[in-house]
Amino acid sequence: MNEAFLKACRGEATRPVPVWLMRQAGRYLPAYQEIREKIDFLTLCKTPELAAEVSVQPVDILGVDAAILFSDILIPVEAMGMGLDFYEGEGPALTPPIRTEKDLKGLRSIDPAVDVPFVLETVRILKKELSNRVPLIGFSGAPFTLAAYMIEGGTSRSFANTKRMIFESPSLFSPLMDLITEVTISYLRAQIEAGVQAIQIFDTWAGILTKEDYSRYALPYVSRVFKGLEGLGIPGIYFVYDGGHLLESTPGSGADVIGLDWRTDMETAISRLGPNVTVQGNLDPCDLFMPEDELRAKVDSILRQGQKAKAHIFNLGHGILPEISYEKARLMVDLVHELSA
């Protein structure tokens, strides 16, 4: 197997630097679009053969060094008892939003084998189809991010309902976070038992918190998740979107790898994280609009900066956009391999 990604996860600086892309199984790929013409997003997540197929596509087409399970961070939230829909271009809708004691009581813990069997089946099929070419990454949302989605009932600009609950109803927020944390641990354990070789926790919304609030209301729950997976021998990546102001705190999560948003340049990020941290990132997804020569210089610059970390996994600083051509994405993967060889 191509071990570069797992070696880097464990803190071993490798040449060439391994690379994968957040949302690498996605709409920018014509092969993915072909499947999505016949089936909606949520059904695709729940159809193991097809979910496995789209997860493998970027390995075949781009030559990335890791596959990631095709799924959505809200899948376990639906299993907890919320209605889940995705509307084209609008993001997810979760119903009813969790705002009261009664809403909270309507939620339940999950048994992944019973409640989300399709995720575990996707992992098992994927393991076979990948036949040890590259490692397989599982994932979940971070507790705060899932809570924010659940409280808002979807995305939000201000997250006023979420912060309102934190400040006005801590006796509601705290058990909600406990429940989500417990679910997340069992969900990730099940993915690991089914065969994923690394996990990534996506904290999409923690960046709306000040460092002080993050340390109280988000980070401790992420730490509990990583602690809950200790002893399973599976490396963990922690990605906070738009969390530049939280960089000094994130290694406290206990993650093996810190994923970096594109906003903070890698050199600055590493100097704030300290040299003993493995980093993942952080090309601006929109840099894939650059002409080849500019893209080459940009990739080279990130690779050079990444050498100051303990180890580096190349990635985008956020998910790849549907507007990007897959040829450009492939060029980027090739450039990473070539320039770090």
Chain residues that interact with its own copies, rule: CB under 8 A: 158-160, 163-164, 166-168, 207-213, 242, 244-245, 262-265, 268, 284-287, 289-291, 294, 321, 323
Question: Catalytic one among 23, 133, 164, 272?
Answer: 23
Question: Catalytic one among 32, 65, 72, 214?
Answer: 72
Whole-number Å distance between alpha carbons of 92 and 94: 7
Minimum CB separation from its own copies for residue 4, in Å?
Answer: 26
Cross-strand bridge partners of residue 283: 316
Minimum CB separation from its own copies for residue 244, in Å?
Answer: 5
Pinpoint the alpha helices (H) of the chain. Answer: 4-9, 30-36, 41-45, 48-62, 75-79, 101-105, 112-115, 117-130, 143-152, 160-168, 170-194, 211-217, 219-228, 266-273, 292-306, 326-339
Q: What are phi and psi of 2, to 5 degrees?
A: -65, 105
Question: Catalytic residue at 124?
Answer: no
Whole-number Å distance between alpha carbons of 264 and 204: 16
Among candidate residues 305, 240, 317, 297, the one with its CA nearest the CA of residue 267: 305
Minimum CB separation from its own copies for residue 167, in Å?
Answer: 4
Q: Which is nearer to its own copies, 190 or 266 (CB)?
A: 266
Question: Catalytic residue at 304?
Answer: no
Tally of CB atoms within 10 A around 272: 16
Question: Catalytic one among 28, 32, 149, 187?
Answer: 149
Q: Which is nearer to its own copies, 10 or 263 (CB)?
A: 263
Question: Catalytic residue at 178?
Answer: no
Tokens read off for 199? 């996990």
Q: Which is nearer to its own copies, 160 or 232 (CB)?
A: 160
Tokens read off for 250? 């994130």
Minimum CB separation from its own copies for residue 246, in Å?
Answer: 9
Q: Which is nearer to its own copies, 60 or 90 (CB)?
A: 90
Among candidate residues 147, 259, 279, 150, the one with its CA nearest the CA of residue 209: 147
Q: Which is nearer to its own copies, 168 or 230 (CB)?
A: 168
Question: Catalytic residue at 27?
Answer: yes
Minimum CB separation from its own copies for residue 268, in Å?
Answer: 7
Q: Find all residues with CB under 8 Å of 98, minimum gap 6, and list them.
A: 82, 104, 107, 147, 150, 151, 176
Question: Catalytic residue at 330?
Answer: no
Whole-number Å distance between alpha carbons of 20 and 186: 26
Minimum CB separation from its own copies for residue 65, in Å?
Answer: 24
Cβ(129)–Cβ(121) below 8 Å: no
Q: Which is nearer to its own copies, 145 or 197 (CB)?
A: 145
Which residues belong to the active site? 23, 27, 36, 72, 149
